[in-house]
C-alpha cells in the first residue's frame, strides 16, 4: 500500500477544528450545568466528561423544564421551536 503524503495545511486545519470543538463542548457544558444547577459549582461535576450527545439531550430537558413553568414559552415560541429542532437531530 502506498503512503499518501498530506499537506501541512490539512494538519493545521484538523488542529483548529479539534480546538474549536473542545471550546464548544466546554461552552455547552457550562451553559447546561449553569441552568441545571443554578450556577452552583459543586453540581456541575455531573456534567464533566459527558458526551456532546448527552449534554444536548440533557440541555434540552433542562430548558424544557425551565421554560414550561415560566410563561416564556407562550410569550416567545421561538426557543421552543429551536429546541424541538435540536431534539429531532438526536
pTM: 0.57
Instruction: Locate the domains of the chain by residue range.
Output: 11-89
Distance CA 87, CA 8 (A): 38
Render each residue's pLDDT in the chain as its tens digit; 90 residues: 778 888 899 999 999 999 988 888 888 888 777 777 665 666 667 778 888 888 888 877 777 776 666 555 455 556 656 666 666 665
Half-sphere exposure of residue 83, counting CA atoms within 13 Å on the CB side? 18
Amino acid at each position: 500500500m502506498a503512503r499518501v503524503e498530506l499537506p501541512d495545511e490539512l494538519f493545521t486545519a484538523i488542529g483548529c477544528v479539534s480546538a474549536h470543538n473542545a471550546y464548544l463542548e466546554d461552552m455547552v457544558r457550562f451553559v447546561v450545568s449553569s441552568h441545571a444547577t443554578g450556577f452552583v459549582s459543586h453540581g456541575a461535576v455531573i456534567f464533566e466528561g459527558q458526551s456532546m450527545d448527552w449534554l444536548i439531550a440533557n440541555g434540552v430537558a433542562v430548558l424544557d423544564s425551565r421554560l414550561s413553568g415560566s410563561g416564556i414559552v407562550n410569550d416567545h415560541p421561538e426557543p421552543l421551536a429551536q429546541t424541538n429542532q435540536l431534539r429531532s437531530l438526536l
